[in-house]
Each structure stands twice: as C-alpha cells, then as structure tokens.
C-alpha cells in the first residue's frame, strides 16, 4: 500500500516525462536546521539564484558560492511560497528551479481527492435502546449503503434492517444550533443490541508523508492511479507551453519545436486518461456497494 510520499514521487516521475526541461540536482553535504540561511551542497554549480527545492520545502537562493560549495538564502527565503521551513538531513536532494515542486504535487493530489466523484465507505455502530427516536451519524456521513443489527443468537450473523429513513435536519440534543444527519429506524431490533450502519462519505485528504492511501482516504487501493492521473492533469494545465512536449513523452518529439497550445493538448490527453480510469473505478465501486432493499414505510 503506497504512502503519501510514494504517491508524490510516482506522480513526479510520471509528469516529468511530459516536460522538456530536466532539472539539475545536487545534495546537501551538511545537515541544515529549519532556520539556516547558508547551506552546503555537493555541487553548487548545479544551483542558481532563484527558487530551489529541498525535500518538501522551497527556498529562495540569493547567491551561490561555487568555490566554497555553499548557497546563501534570501532573508525570509526559507519556507518560500507557503511551504514549511524544516530541518534537512545529510544527502537530502536539492533541485534547482523545479517545474513541479513537491508541495504543488501534494496540493494537486489532495485537490483531486477532494474533488473526485468517488465515495469512501465507512461504518458507525451504536446501541439501540428502544426509546430514542433518531441516532446521530458521524459528521462525514453522506448516504446509507446498509444497516444491520447484532442479533442475540449464536450464529454471529448481523441481519439486515430494511425499514429506516435519514433525517438530514436532526438537531443535536443540548445544541439546537448544530444540524446533523441522523438515522431513524422504522423496524425495531432487540433493545440493548448494536446497530451497524455502513455509509458513504467523501474521501479524506492525505497529510503526513507516512499516510497510507487506502487507510487514510477510505478509497480502494485500485483508485490510486486515478488520483495520480487527476493530479498530473491539474499540474500540466498550469505550466508554461514552452516547457511541454507535443502530446506524449515519446523520444522522437522531445527535440521538436513546441507550438502554441501544446500544453493544452497534453492536459486534454491526461484529462481523457483520468476520465477513463475514473469511469472504470466508479463502475467497480457501484458493484461493491452493499445492495439492499429499503422500504419507505
């Protein structure tokens, strides 16, 4: 199962094949704190004045000393463009003027997760007390995909509940200003037994580098390439046309002149790939939903 950091690297590797310029890189030869303004690198000739990426952080380089192998950061140049200034270890990769900074890739991935037309599945359990009218659902609730209850027999089978409705204007007891979705049962299991509601929700965005895709987002692992393609489409659609190749990363067109509008062609090509995979994943997700008959009364 891929982590957020691995998805970022995979996306960077794939989207980089659609651009003409290849970035020069070097590595840190000394560790750096989150406030250092002088950094020591293996090959200072690989860097220039301007934006440089170290890990997930962007910095703005004021000057380069090739003889000493150091770069000086502009005052206030750590954590450039809204990135977070961080400590960096020995041999951390340093990229000069990156076309696709990792922070931008992370945002594109999460924008795709938040905007995608797929639902994550989750479940919620509560005890049926026999007297409560409605039971509040979690705040991320979108729709019910199945309801079952824990019967007292020894089979450990959870029978389905088919008569229920969702109250989307439920006001939490003691806080009338808070409106939540709640489930109202219209067939009653044994009081004191647990009810399990399987429900659909919007997927959760990734945050830490160690976040695992399926565990954090709630989406199936097979949807990972859908997210990568969506992120690539978002990234390519924002870059300068002179940095892209014609339509595909084929070697025979790398040196060809880039015409106006070629970046749009690449973005359209990636968008088509994204939509094909999204349609496939949506169809599979519909098959995997718990399908039950719900009676309205």
Over pLDDT 90: what percentage of the chain?
71
Residue 17 has pLDDT above 90, yes or no: no
**pLDDT at residue 244 in the model:** 56
pLDDT tens string 57-115: 999 999 999 999 999 999 999 999 999 999 999 999 999 999 899 999 999 999 999 99
Are residues 227 and 2 in contact, defined by beta-carbon separation less than 8 angstroms? no
pLDDT band at 22 (very low <50, low <70, confident <90, very high): confident
* Three-class secondary structure of residue 198 per DSSP: strand
Are residues 237 and 175 in contact, defined by beta-carbon separation less than 8 angstroms? no
| Residue of 10, 1, 54 whose CA lies nearest to 227 | 10
Residue 234 has pLDDT above 80, yes or no: yes
* Euclidean distance between CA atoms 65 and 270, whole angstroms: 41
**pLDDT at residue 23 in the model:** 81
pLDDT tens string 170-187: 987 767 678 889 999 999
pLDDT band at 295 (very low <50, low <70, confident <90, very high): low
């Amino acid at each position: 199962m891929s982590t957020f950091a691995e998805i970022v690297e995979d996306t960077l590797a794939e989207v980089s094949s659609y651009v003409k310029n290849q970035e020069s890189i070097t590595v840190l030869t000394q560790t750096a704190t989150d406030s250092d303004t002088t950094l020591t690198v293996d090959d200072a000739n690989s860097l220039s004045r301007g934006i440089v990426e170290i890990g997930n952080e962007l910095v703005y380089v004021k000057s380069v000393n090739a003889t000493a192998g150091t770069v000086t950061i502009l005052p206030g140049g750590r954590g450039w463009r809204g990135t977070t200034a961080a400590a960096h270890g020995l041999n951390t990769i340093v990229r000069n003027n990156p076309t696709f900074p990792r922070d931008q890739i992370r945002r594109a991935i999460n924008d795709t997760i938040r905007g995608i037309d797929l639902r994550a599945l989750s479940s919620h359990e509560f005890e049926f007390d026999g007297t409560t009218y409605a039971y509040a659902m979690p705040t991320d609730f979108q729709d019910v995909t199945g309801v079952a209850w824990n019967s007292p027999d020894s089979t450990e089978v959870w029978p389905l509940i088919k008569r229920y409705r969702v109250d989307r204007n439920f006001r939490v007891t003691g806080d009338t200003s808070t409106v939540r979705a709640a489930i109202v049962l219209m067939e009653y299991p044994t009081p004191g037994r647990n009810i399990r509601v399987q429900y659909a929700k919007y997927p959760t965005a990734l945050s830490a580098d160690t976040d695992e895709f399926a565990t954090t987002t709630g989406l199936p692992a097979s949807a990972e390439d859908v997210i990568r393609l969506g992120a690539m489409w978002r990234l390519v659609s924002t870059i300068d046309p002179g940095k892209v190749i014609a339509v595909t990363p084929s070697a025979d067109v790398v040196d060809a002149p880039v015409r106006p509008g070629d970046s749009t062609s690449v973005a359209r090509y990636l968008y088509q790939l994204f939509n094909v995979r999204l349609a496939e994943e949506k169809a599979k997700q519909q098959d995997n939903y718990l399908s039950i008959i719900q009676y309205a009364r």
